[in-house]
Amino acid sequence: MQFGRTNLVLKRLARSTNASVLVEFAFCMPVLLLLYIGGTGLSDAIACNRKVATATRSLVDLVSRTMSPTIIYNDPTSADAKSYLSASAVVLAPYKLNNATQQISLLRVCDATHAYVVWTQAQTQNVDGSTVAAITSSQSAGTLPTSATQSASNVVSIPSNMITTPMVPTSPDGSNVCTNYAPGTSTKTQVGTAGGWLFVGQINYTYTPAVSFVTLNTTQLTSTIYMVPRLY
């Protein structure tokens, strides 16, 4: 008799669907939670990347509108873009500013895909941008207009779609100006002494997800933008 009752209870439990939704939800919840947090983390990373691009564009736009390339060329040591670098960092808010480095350089085109670095400046700052510190630029500026042999490290690659024919200098002997490092002569045009101008800004941001267990590692976000100067 007892066995019959037990068997009846088991059959009822087998047929019962009460709380089945709760059990299914318990199985699905970890996956749904992971998708939600992962999506939130990815969205935040995309938003930060857009901030970096916007800040870079702001930096180059400010400098290209207000700093004269010819003045910088004639006296590179007196050029100072600290205020513009700091302003571009503020654009990154609410992201922590100490994770960012800003850099601005003045280039002089020497062929269709290369340019001479006339001047460059880079900095970083503390978390709220109230204190800034100069850092070494990733580009090496030359010593022109001083009459001295320049270095191959002063020449960098540039996008070819930024260059028009009038921007590319010509050397009387037909040589590539980018390789003429020694002071110019009647037959050779020295690198950096002729050609069109470009400002290039770059911001690097070390992005770390706000939620540590999301499967997104620390990522280096970088934006580089070229612009032609408005002043001469």
The tens place of each residue's pLDDT in the chain, 232 residues long, gives 555 666 676 666 566 666 666 677 777 777 777 777 777 778 888 999 999 999 999 999 999 999 999 999 999 999 999 999 999 999 999 999 999 999 999 999 999 999 999 999 999 999 998 999 999 999 999 999 999 999 999 999 999 888 999 999 999 999 999 999 999 899 999 999 999 999 999 999 999 887 655 455 788 999 999 999 998 8
- From the DSSP assignment, how many helices (H) and strands (E) are in the chain? 4, 6
Residue 3 belongs to a domain: no
Residue 2 belongs to a domain: no
Its pTM surpasses 0.85: no
pLDDT of residue 211: 67
CB 118 within 8 A of CB 68: no
- Phi and psi torsions of 78, nearest 5°: -90, -10
Residue 110 belongs to a domain: yes
pLDDT of residue 218: 84
pLDDT of residue 187: 94
Pick from 141, 156, 190, 197: nearest CA to 170: 190
pLDDT of residue 12: 66
Residue 147 belongs to a domain: yes
pLDDT of residue 202: 98
What is the number of domains present in the chain? Answer: 1
Which range of residues forms the domain containing residue 60? 19-227
CB 108 within 8 A of CB 189: no
Residue 71 belongs to a domain: yes
The radius of gyration of the chain's CA atoms, rounded to the nearest angstrom, is 29
Output the CA–CA distances (angstroms, integers) from residue 165 to 60, 162, 170, 228, in the order listed.
23, 10, 10, 14
Q: Going along the chain, which residue ranges are E strands?
A: 100-111, 114-125, 132-135, 155-157, 197-207, 219-227
pLDDT of residue 21: 66
Residue 95 belongs to a domain: yes
Residue 34 belongs to a domain: yes
User: What's CA 10's distance to the chain center, in Å?
Assistant: 65
Q: Kind of pairing, strands 155-157 and 100-111?
A: unpaired
- Phi and psi torsions of 174, nearest 5°: 85, 5
pLDDT of residue 110: 97
CB 58 within 8 A of CB 91: yes
Residue 10 belongs to a domain: no
pLDDT of residue 76: 95
Instruction: Classify residue 162 by its DSSP letter.
Output: G
Question: What is the rounded CA–CA span in Å between residue 38 and residue 217?
Answer: 12
